[in-house]
Structure 1
Amino acid sequence: MNTANKITIARILLIPVFILFFPLYPDWLAQKADFIQHIDSYGLYYASAVFILASATDKLDGHIARKYNQITNLGKLLDPLADKLLISAALILMVSQHLVYSWIAFAIIAREIIINGIRIVASSRKIALQADQYGKIKMVFQVAAIAAVLLNNRPFSFFTDIPIDQILMYAALILTLYSGYNYIKNNYRILE
């Protein structure tokens, strides 16, 4: 297994760590365990750090794969899957804590499932579909929006009362829907 694929797998393995740090523990457990009390108080910061680290590995594994000619079929499968799992886990947990509207999470996750379905159909026909520029821009906005919401609009709240985190989330939603539309439009022939 090459370095790029190891980094992708590390990103997938960071998802349970992100979930562990997300403060979702019941009060009765938090009252009995100091570690859970600590997570309850500071977990969103730890979860945010893990989320940002995992997101950064997406750029790193792609760079290594291209620079050292380590592009593999496994990497083509795992890389977008890792992204979708990370974003979906974050959105689901955020909905559970009322940090983001459920309809926004549903729209983003539904787009990812639909695009993944198209990739599976293409793969069954021995066609490898790559993410386009809109998909890459969408991912950047999703990561920025999720990180900003997890950090309760920090660092923006130090400078302004404008809810930059929510603006980023709506921008991510719009880009997600547009990139999904564009991807389907450019690849619909595979479904025929």
Structure 2
Amino acid sequence: MNLPNKLTCLRMIMIPFFVLFMYLPFPAARYIALIIFIAASLTDTADGYIARRDHLITDFGKFMDPLADKLLVCAAMICLVRTGELPAWVVIIIISREFIISGFRLIAADNGIVIAASMWGKAKTVTQMAMIIVILLDIPALHLLEVILIAAATVLTVVSLADYIAKNRGVLSSKK
């Protein structure tokens, strides 16, 4: 297993620790969760950069990297719904998009096709991660930025879904 794939696996391993610290009842726990989330988010940047730089792009990475991102972001958003800091309807839209895309990827994989993330999908992920970080910071002066990032993440989620379906609609009619 190459380094980018190890970083992807590390990101998935960090998720339960993030969730644990989001639920622990002492004040510093939230900041530990924030540090874990930022570190996990940085592995996303690092694994993609290293994979492209060193020509280490694999089918495992194409499939698991977006999945690791989805797991990290969805876990964080569910925790933020619980705390009342993120509206449930936003999370429902975002998670619904992830299930739809995962369904497309499974159908594609069954037909021997691996679909990499698009630029819209990457922009969506970065915006969602930034949104989560700003919410976790819990700085009143950043409230307007939180609202803007929530709106941007929701819009990019819908746009990236439409783009993904448009570019990959042929997957649904593919035969083995």
TM-score by length of 2: 0.93
Q: Does 1:78 align with 2:76?
A: no
Question: Match of 1:89?
Answer: 75
Question: Match of 1:5?
Answer: 5
Residue by residue over 1:167-189, the C-alpha shift from the partner in whole angstroms, topping out at 9 and shown as x without a partner, is 11111111111111111111111
- The CA deviation at 1:48 is 1.1
- Distance (Å, rounded) in 2 between the aligned partners of 1:153 and 1:179: 29
- Distance (Å, rounded) in 2 between the aligned partners of 1:137 and 1:99: 22
Q: Does 1:53 align with 2:34?
A: no
Dislocated runs of 4+, deviation >2 Å: none
Q: How does 1:20-59 map to 2 (within 5 A)?
A: 20-22=20-22, 24-25=23-24, 36=25, 40-59=26-45
Secondary structure of 1:128's aligned partner = coil
Aligned-partner residue type, residue 46 of structure 2: L
Residue by residue over 1:64-101, the C-alpha shift from the partner in whole angstroms, topping out at 9 and shown as x without a partner, is 11111211222122111100000110011111111101
- Confirm or deny: 8 A CA contact 1:18 1:47 kept in the other structure: yes
Question: Match of 1:33?
Answer: none
- The CA deviation at 1:8 is 0.7
- Distance (Å, rounded) in 2 between the aligned partners of 1:76 and 1:146: 24
Aligned-partner residue type, residue 105 of structure 2: R
- Confirm or deny: 8 A CA contact 1:138 1:175 kept in the other structure: yes
Aligned-partner residue type, residue 17 of structure 1: F
Question: Match of 1:191?
Answer: 172
Question: Match of 1:31?
Answer: none
Which is helix-richer, 1 or 2? 2
Percent identity between the two aligned chains: 42
Structure 2, unaligned stretches of length 5 or more?
none
| Aligned equivalent of 1:180, options 158, 161, 169 | 161
Q: How many residue pairs get matched?
A: 173
Residue by residue over 1:141-192, the C-alpha shift from the partner in whole angstroms, topping out at 9 and shown as x without a partner, is 10111111111147xx2xx7x5211211111111111111111111111112
